[in-house]
Amino acid sequence: MTPAPDATLSDVGEFALVDALTELFPQGERVLVGPGDDAALVSAPDGRVLVSTDVLVEGRHFRRDWAEARDVGHRVAAANLSDVNAMGGRATALTVALGAPADLPVVWALDLARGIADEAGLVGASVVGGDLTGADQVVVSVTVLGEVAGVPVLRSGARPGDLVALAGRQGWSAGGLAVLTRGFRSPRALVEAYRRPEPPYSAGPLAAAVGATAMVDVSDGLLADVGHVARASGVAVDLDSECFEVAEPLRAVGAALGADPLRFVLTGGDDHALVATFPDGTTLPEGWVAVGRVHEGEGVTVDGTEYDGPWGHAHFGS
């Protein structure tokens, strides 16, 4: 379907839109029955399936004047694919549910689908189905299925003496959000990082292969998500601030806002970097950088001191 430039969802109707969306989603080798039936059928060679779901709500997780539809598609897919990555796995299939107002432009919905398909293609995953419904604002929900070789890496395996390491870009999305909320569009590198995160998709399986004891993706903030590992494992984690790269664009935004740029790194989410713990003496895989240690006790500290300020994003203000 090639809609008129000004066509809305109400102009084309649900079933024509479903047909148009389905055409945008190529199917991979794991898909035995794809979109078009009551349910998809996806093979799971060893009988185990990783499953995760994320929801993006317009006005809370994205704004259409800040990001194009294709960018939003990349963001919502990345959030799900990264969850599988953080278990040491590989995503195989996604389902997508879209709630939208009747006056939403059809081209916006199609570009959203293209963004999801593009991001899924980076890991060889397929969009195998979903749902459409009317809503007062745009809501996108994605569920991802994945597989893992061997034992998945959980949050609960960190042990005293382990190294803490980081893979991927961290703090850039938070810097971009800070720029956008103040009505600016530069540094462009940070704005683009907010619009389209770049999760280190190869890092999760590499970490699992060398014996990572615990792992989590950074979606709500580095301190907050490291805190999840500490609580699940019953340990304390101390991060070394000197180990983090504070890139020049973050320094520029920090200077402009009168803020410590390290704050973006420590409390920012949505870059979907990975944090993992490894037994002492492990040779870290390519792309991983040591940033701290696991100790006896509880909680998370930075340079041996409790961090003063919010640790990251909290959905309900706590």
In this structure, what CATH number is given to the domain that contains residue 26?
3.30.1330.10
Max CA distance (Å), the chain: 63
271 with 176, same domain: the answer is yes
Residue 315 pLDDT = 47
60 is a domain residue: yes
Residue 37 pLDDT = 87
27 with 134, same domain: the answer is yes
CATH number at residue 283: 3.90.650.10
50 with 108, same domain: the answer is yes
How many folded domains does the chain comprise?
2
- Torsion region of 215: left, alpha or beta (phi above 0 gives left; psi -120 to 50 gives alpha): beta
Which range of residues forms the domain containing residue 247?
155-302
178 with 290, same domain: the answer is yes
- Read off the pLDDT band of 309 (50, 70, 90): confident
Residue 183 pLDDT = 87
| Residues in a beta bridge with 275 | 166, 216
208 is a domain residue: yes
Residues 6+ apart with CB under 8 A from 183: none
317 is a domain residue: no
292 with 215, same domain: the answer is yes
**pLDDT tens per residue across span 168-217:** 999 999 999 999 998 888 899 999 999 999 999 999 999 999 999 999 99
162 with 136, same domain: the answer is no
Pairing of strands 90-100, 139-147: antiparallel
> Rounded CA gap, 42 and 146, in Å?
10
> Rounded CA gap, 25 and 310, in Å?
40
314 is a domain residue: no
97 is a domain residue: yes
**pLDDT tens per residue across span 137-179:** 999 999 999 999 999 999 999 999 999 999 999 999 999 999 9
From residue 80, how far is each of 50, 51, 235, 270, 272 by CA, in Å? 11, 9, 27, 11, 10
pLDDT at 99 over 60: yes
204 with 99, same domain: the answer is no
Q: Of 123, 147, 171, which marks where a domain is finished? A: 147
- Read off the pLDDT band of 317 (50, 70, 90): very low
316 is a domain residue: no
205 with 171, same domain: the answer is yes
- Read off the pLDDT band of 318 (50, 70, 90): very low
209 with 119, same domain: the answer is no
307 is a domain residue: no
293 with 176, same domain: the answer is yes
Query: For the chain, what percent of residues have pLDDT higher than 90?
Result: 81
101 with 233, same domain: the answer is no
